[in-house]
Structure 1
Amino acid sequence: MAAQRIKGVLSPVVTPFKRDLSPDVSRFIAHCKWLLSQDCGLAVFGTNSEANSMSADERMGLLEAAIAGGVPTDRMMPGTGACSIVEAAKVSAHATRLGVAGVLMLPPFYYKGVPEEGLFRFFSEVVQRVGDDRLRVYLYHIPPVSVIPITHKLVERLMKAYPKQIAGMKDSSDDWPHTKSMIDAFAKDGFDVFSGNEKPLIENIKSGGAGCISATANINPGKIAEVHAKWQTPEGEKLQGWINEVRGVMQGYVMIPALKYCIAHYAGDAPWTPVRPPLVETDEKTGRDMIAKLDKLGFTMPGLKQAMAVAAE
């Protein structure tokens, strides 16, 4: 049986690296567990995980290590997209066998201007090669990065061909009318649409969406999850404004190294800062500027220091 459908708030979990740029397994597991303690699900190997700077074997090995370390699979939606059909199918099959709730799949993004037919064939081939009824695919629409869009027509064709396997999408267009159009078109058929950040979270829920998968859920998971829980209340509306302010601060910096700098700062754990090239760490002057802006908002990361202290032992 497939895992229960995953909804709510998920974080594209940042991947800690050691100085030799190998994955830091203990810190990764500790961060996953901290996010779960804040009522946040795990979209491991998403964009902010530096997944496309990692090999298939690294992703599969890290997923196995997380599960062995006690991270539950029913709150996990690992990214399995790749330009290679072989790699996408291999990583998707591996994650599905391990019992994850679903997989988040980028379109093949290297060749631009490809026809809808080509994209349909790609996703179709991956589904068929995985060949597992438990597979649940969440399509990843992120045109600012991939340039290759997931269109309404493509979703319609894939849902018709694979009604069990095509479960939903993450819309990282940062275009709420587009996200809402996907919800309006497909949510009634069980297609779960996640916004690519928390800014329209309440609107997403009101419209029948599934929640959000947001980079800043790496550092602000509890408050974003609280908005999801209290979306019908004045408190939730007020808190939506505050989490949007935090998001606004973070969008002023290069997101992935900035997130790692925040974790290192609020956890008191300097080894969190390394990123894989071509990314470069946030410098101290920039980092101090960012932290000052967050502190001004009353921002905290409760429980993180204790979680990372265990990982550093």
Structure 2
Amino acid sequence: MTATSDSPEDEHLPARDCLAVAAATPVAIDLAPDHSLLAMHCQMLLASGCDGIALFGTTGEGPEFTATDRKSGLEAAVRAGIAPGRLIVSATAMSIGETVDLAKHALDANVDSILLMPPCMFRSNITAEGAYRFYATVIDRIARDDLRLCLYHFPDICGVPLTPPIVRRLDEAFPGIVTGVKDSGGDFGFTEALIRSCGHLRIFTGTEIHLPQALAAGAYGTICGLGNVMPRLLRAMFEAPSAFDRRGLVPLITSGDLILSRQSFGASIKAVLAQVTGQPSWARMLPPLDELHYPERGWMLADFERWERSLPPSMRSFHAGEALAARDNVLPLRRAL
């Protein structure tokens, strides 16, 4: 587990083997982020062994919030004591101007880096050259030497594959600015090609079951959605003594993921968080996204509880039991399902 510092400003992501969570965002009745719940969630994740938090990405419904909401959410997290050096902030938006504005605000807060994918509205008309020009234009307009940009490969959402040649071209044009790639494409062959051709960059996999081979191949770590509800299991994978032991945990992660992926993954994550925290607003999604409804929601929650109780006590995040609760470094258990 990552050691903490007395001064939040001194905390940063680790040099390797980084477990970062693509945080879900609790939504208040006015459809703005619930700052208090978001800060508490970030604190829980860090206390459970996560190295960092990615705010307002796709799992966090970021592009649906206003720039003002996203800025205030970041500010609230920092005020709550979350070290900015452990935050990766998504600046993905539908306009270049808004993207630049969000990125500059996050840089002013001294976050670790900016996560960015091209806008998704014009999926079929975006070429490789257009993707390059998008990133180059954003970098030029931010115009700051302290920019650390993590490119976001998620073709299922934005329709734009960030191929290794595009990544290399951006890296060569903006050395020291482009610092990483988050690969959420779900194809380990693609991840491996990125590691081989751009191994000096921080390559994150967004596919948790690929972690053992990705880390063995030289990936920096993960930015993942499952970490919202199974942070201790993922921490155990990072702390396993060998790649063989890491692979042994993949079936546990896969079985939990299958439960959460029967319906909308994001809505399932938030339904679990609503149940274990006793905060119904966690279940709220921003339209047009929809929350889970009964009876499917009840079936999923019951199966998720059974799944987690089947884990070794040290790997459970919400139903830890007496053995784990006795440890000093474990957050008090939330309300049981």
Q: TM-score, normalised by structure 2?
A: 0.85
5 Å-filtered alignment, 1:132-281, equals 132-187=144-199, 190-230=200-240, 232=242, 235-281=245-291
Deviation at 1:114, TM superposition (A): 2.1
Residues of 1 paired with 2:241 and 2:214: CA distance? Answer: 10
Deviation at 1:137, TM superposition (A): 0.6
Question: Partner residue of 1:93?
Answer: 104
Question: Partner residue of 2:324?
Answer: none
Question: Partner residue of 1:42?
Answer: 53
5 Å-filtered alignment, 1:273-292, equals 273-292=283-302
Residues of 2 paired with 1:175 and 1:253: CA distance? Answer: 22
| 1:56 counterpart letter in structure 2 | A
Kept in 2, the 8 Å contact 1:231–1:237? The answer is: no
Q: Does 1:59 align with 2:70?
A: yes
Kept in 2, the 8 Å contact 1:34–1:307? The answer is: no
Kept in 2, the 8 Å contact 1:202–1:231? The answer is: no
Deviation at 1:31, TM superposition (A): 0.2
Q: Is the alpha carbon distance of 1:108 and 1:134 closer, same or farther for their aligned partners in structure 2, counting shifts above 3 Å?
A: same
Question: Partner residue of 2:3?
Answer: none
5 Å-filtered alignment, 1:289-300, equals 289-299=299-309, 300=316
Deviations 1:266-299 (A, max 9, x none): 2233231111110111113112211222233234
Kept in 2, the 8 Å contact 1:17–1:24? The answer is: yes
Kept in 1, the 8 Å contact 2:32–2:65? The answer is: no
Question: Partner residue of 1:104?
Answer: 115
Deviation at 1:233, TM superposition (A): 5.9
Deviation at 1:96, TM superposition (A): 1.1
Deviation at 1:117, TM superposition (A): 2.2
- The alignment yields a C-alpha RMSD, in angstroms, of 2.1
Residues of 1 paired with 2:205 and 2:32: CA distance? Answer: 31
Deviations 1:226-254 (A, max 9, x none): 20121516543322321122112212120
Residues of 2 paired with 1:26 and 1:231: CA distance? Answer: 37
Residues of 2 paired with 1:270 and 1:143: CA distance? Answer: 32
Deviation at 1:22, TM superposition (A): 2.2
Kept in 2, the 8 Å contact 1:30–1:308? The answer is: no
Residues of 1 paired with 2:333 and 2:290: CA distance? Answer: 26
Higher mean displacement: 17-26 or 206-215: 17-26
Correspondent of 1:301 among 298, 313, 317 = 317
Kept in 2, the 8 Å contact 1:269–1:308? The answer is: no
SS at match of 2:214: helix
Kept in 1, the 8 Å contact 2:212–2:243? The answer is: no
Q: TM-score, normalised by structure 1?
A: 0.91
SS at match of 1:49: coil
Number of matched residues? 306
Q: Flag structure 2 segments of 5+ consecutive residues without an equivalent.
A: 1-9, 310-315, 321-329
Identity of aligned residues (%): 27
Residues of 2 paired with 1:281 and 1:128: CA distance? Answer: 39
Correspondent of 1:14 among 19, 24, 33 = 24
Higher mean displacement: 128-137 or 204-213: 128-137
SS at match of 1:148: coil
Kept in 1, the 8 Å contact 2:261–2:268? The answer is: no
Kept in 2, the 8 Å contact 1:266–1:305? The answer is: no
Question: Partner residue of 1:74?
Answer: 85
Q: Is the alpha carbon distance of 1:86 and 1:307 closer, same or farther for their aligned partners in structure 2, counting shifts above 3 Å?
A: farther
SS at match of 1:43: strand
Residues of 2 paired with 1:11 and 1:272: CA distance? Answer: 17
Residues of 2 paired with 1:308 and 1:74: CA distance? Answer: 27
